């Protein structure tokens, strides 16, 4: 490793921006068996501004990922999409 940064700890100072949908933006929520690959597909779709994953319906308040995956909470994994039609 002959790079000048080899072996050094790197940190990055970033500022996150909040997406505030404009008047033209639309919202949709899609249920799927597992939200990870579905979210990635929407992130790669032209016109999609942002995605967010979570759970819908179900009987447990604030379930964990493991609880939802167990199938005992009644929740569906979903992807919330904000897009420019």
Catalytically annotated residues? 34
CB-based contact 29:80 (threshold 8 Å): yes
State how far the alpha carbon of 23 is from the alpha carbons of 7, 26, 50, 83, in Å. Answer: 48, 8, 15, 11
State how far the alpha carbon of 11 is from the alpha carbons of 1, 5, 14, 15, 37, in Å. Answer: 19, 12, 10, 13, 29
């Amino acid at each position: 490793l002959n790079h000048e940064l080899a072996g050094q700890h790197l940190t990055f100072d970033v500022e996150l921006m909040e997406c505030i949908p404009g008047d033209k933006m639309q919202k949709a929520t899609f249920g799927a068996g597992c939200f990870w690959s579905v979210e990635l597909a929407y992130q790669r779709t032209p016109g999609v501004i942002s995605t967010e994953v979570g759970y819908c319906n179900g009987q447990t308040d604030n379930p964990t990922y493991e609880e939802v995956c167990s199938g005992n909470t009644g929740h569906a994994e979903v992807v919330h999409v904000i897009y420019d039609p």
